[in-house]
Amino acid sequence: MTRQTVVMVTTSYPRFPGDTVGTFMEPIARGVAARGHKVHVVAPWHPLIKRASVENGIHFHFFRYMPLPSLNVFGYASALKNDTDLRPSAYAAAPFALFAGWRAAQKVAKTHGATIMHGHWVIPGGVIAATAAGTIPVILSLHGSDIFVAEHHGLARRAAKFAFQRAAWVTACSSNLRQRAMVLGARENRIEVLPYGVDGDRFKPDASARARVRHKLNISADQPMVFMAGRLVRKKGFGSLLKAAVRLIPNWPSLQVIIAGIGDLDGELRAEVTSLNLNNNVQFTGKLPQDDIPGYLTAADLVVVPSIQDDAGNVDGLPNILMEALASETAVVTTKVGGIDAVAVDGRTALVVPPNDGLALAMAIENLLKNPSRRSELGQTARTEVCNNYQWTQFASRLDEIYSEAVARNINDRVSELSPS
């Protein structure tokens, strides 16, 4: 194996240990570093960042782009309103952030002798990577909201096309993203589906954690509990879950629905819970530290991931909480949206229903609440299949191959350019 020096350009990364922003970026970077590569993460500065300059073999380079801390509002899931539109403050900061990111990535690559430039989210990380790379290969990884932004904004579309044409290879977390990226200019023979991984040692059944979390929530051992976590934005489908809860409560009056997360819909969802008379059955936890998520997953009887396509056309790529729930051996009810049904197989590892269908969702939830043995069967099968096929170590192994292939192809291309015709 040839060891590479990889510059990862991203606008989101856990700002401190346990942060819930950009959570999948950390296992990606750690996995690459664990395979012996030198990893340099280039990301925007943020007031909440608490990182050493080097952690677990990952070198951090946070760039500032505005003079006042309060004006550094680009990235870390704060630039988009409801995950669809750039906030006015982010529009104002974007040119400064993009220029500062380009300058930082270029400097880090030159200083440390980078052999790979890896941009995350084609808009904006991929564009920064593509412009800063010089002659080294560019890898792009697509995560969902980046493709939506490129589809709906002309300038972003043109920028994405440039990045795709510059890329030696592109990874997409779902086949849905792959198809949409090709419409935007990604080359069919240089883009693959690479689903996210999961840490099966971290997300697993845990009886003591189950008891501890249920005690904290004042939920008895035999009381039905449904859990859902994610940013409180439209595409996550929280509204569908509340509609399902209304149908379930008459037959399951002690049911507790636990919703974890923060976001633009916080006030709206709380008001809806009140208007639907669900205050005794729905609890909002707010943002949960990452270290608490495994306990909540194993405490639940069911995890519901009711993703939808929102009114603007935005969909999830592959929700992290889905992968983590499947690994936790907790039964899952989810919807056929984005890349979900590639890993959640209806009737085998989960129950999969149409999106935006509160009745179908309620029926699937009730089906599993009535059948503990069926829940157990789904959970055990899901954990086995996910841990066999979607570990972060496997994800890193494939990235390793992609890096080596890209470097080899780049060398061959440059030799061909220098050879006399």
Between strands 85-86 and 80-81, the pairing is antiparallel
pLDDT at 257 over 80: yes
Binned at pLDDT 50, 70 and 90, residue 21 comes out as confident
Range in 1-15, 67-81, 194-208, 295-309 the model is least confident about = 67-81
pLDDT at 22 over 60: yes
pLDDT of residue 418: 56
Q: Which residue has the higher pLDDT, 335 or 94?
A: 335
Range in 78-87, 211-220, 282-291 the model is least confident about = 78-87
Binned at pLDDT 50, 70 and 90, residue 419 comes out as low
Alpha carbon distance 65, 68 (integer Å): 9
Task: Give the Å distances, CA to CA, from 193 to 91, 384, 395.
Answer: 31, 21, 11
Binned at pLDDT 50, 70 and 90, residue 415 comes out as low
Average pLDDT estimate for 172-178: 92
Question: In a 3-state reduction of DSSP, which class is residue 295?
Answer: helix
Average pLDDT estimate for 184-200: 95
Q: Are 158 and 184 in contact, with CB atoms under 8 Å apart?
A: no
pLDDT at 93 over 80: no
pLDDT at 280 over 80: yes
Average pLDDT, the chain: 92
Kindly report, residue by residue over 297-317, the tens digit of the pLDDT: 999 999 999 999 988 888 888
Binned at pLDDT 50, 70 and 90, residue 420 comes out as low
Whole-model pTM?
0.90
pLDDT of residue 112: 98
Range in 59-73, 114-128, 155-169 the model is least confident about = 59-73
Q: Which residue has the higher pLDDT, 308 or 85?
A: 308
pLDDT at 3 over 90: yes
Kindly report, residue by residue over 116-159, the tens digit of the pLDDT: 999 999 999 999 999 999 999 999 999 988 898 899 888 899 99
Alpha carbon distance 107, 125 (integer Å): 16
pLDDT at 209 over 70: yes
pLDDT of residue 180: 94
Binned at pLDDT 50, 70 and 90, residue 67 comes out as confident
Residue 332 φ/ψ, nearest 5 degrees: -125, 135
Average pLDDT estimate for 335-354: 94
pLDDT of residue 416: 58
pLDDT of residue 68: 75
Amino acid code (one letter) for 327: A
Binned at pLDDT 50, 70 and 90, residue 95 comes out as confident
Range in 171-175, 321-325, 337-341, 388-392 the model is least confident about = 337-341
Q: Are 260 and 297 in contact, with CB atoms under 8 Å apart?
A: no
User: How far is C-alpha 9 from the geometric centre of its chain's CA atoms?
Assistant: 16
Q: Are 124 and 102 in contact, with CB atoms under 8 Å apart?
A: no
Question: Which domains are delineated in the chain?
Answer: 5-197+391-418 (3.40.50.2000), 207-389 (3.40.50.2000)
For residue 375, give both structure tokens.
């829940």
